[in-house]
Structure 1
Amino acid sequence: MESKLQDVAVDVVENEVDALVAVCKEDVAVAERELHGAAVIVAMDVHAVAVTELELHGVIESKLHDTAVAMIESDVDIVLSVHDKAMAMTVAVAEMELDGVP
């Protein structure tokens, strides 16, 4: 993700972010089914902001969404801002699921 989107995310959430992920609603639905309906898509910083399927509880503003759409040249349903710890946790859960570990 380019620095322009990273900078906009920092302006919007007023906190440093380590990664940005743009996902479609269909991907979220699949992830939720795979992890037995658990809330698996989470944007985390010190304040642990939970993500719904449509927004980051008021954290994500249209400015960030529009920038993401312009940069990846495709419509986006969700823009997540995450820190390294949250990304590592998400990857670890995905790896366990792929290895067949409950």
Structure 2
Amino acid sequence: MSHENPYDALPSAKSMAADNLGDDMRRVNVNPVELFKRGYALLGDQYWLFLGMSLVAIILGSLVLMMMCYVPIIFFLPISFASAFVLYRDIYAQPIVVTQIA
């Protein structure tokens, strides 16, 4: 991608003194569709993987605070992989419903 960087300073740009603030400004049109196409071209076939990972991170990040509220409750209980789902159903289901309603 050998595009010219539109954000580079112009060779004729002077100092940003108060008397010549708007003399050599370069306007740039931003095309969001083109930017998404360039992003897809950079990531290639991993675009959807990155998008999915981002969505999972957002969802898990929003659930962390609710989960932290119940750490003292489950702190002294024996934890196993199977019991994690039972605790999730019993403890975390109500705050998730409240969060979705609010």
- Indicate the TM-score class for this superposition, using the shorter chain for normalisation: under 0.3
* Structure having the higher Rg: 2
More helix by share: 2
TM-score (norm 1): 0.23
How does the TM-score come out when normalised to structure 2? 0.23
